[in-house]
Amino acid sequence: MCSIFLGDIRSLNFNDLINRLKSTSPNVGCVLLFIGFVRSEGVDGGNVRNLVYEAYKDLAERELKSIVDDSMKVDGVYSIEIMHMIGSAVPGEHTFIVGVASKHRNEGF
Per-residue pLDDT for the chain (109 aa), expressed as one digit of tens each?
789 999 999 999 999 999 999 999 999 999 999 999 999 998 888 899 999 999 999 999 999 999 999 999 999 999 999 999 999 999 999 999 999 999 999 999 9
In this structure, the dihedral spanned by the alpha carbons of residues 94, 46, 60 and 4, taken in order and rounded to 10 degrees, is: -10
- The CATH code that applies to domain 2-108 is 3.90.1170.40
Predicted model pTM:
0.90
Q: How far apart are CA 78 and CA 106, in angstroms?
A: 13
Q: How far apart are CA 66 and CA 43, in angstroms?
A: 29
In the chain, where the domains are located = 2-108
User: In whole angstroms, how far apart are CA 16 and each of 19, 55, 101?
Assistant: 5, 26, 13
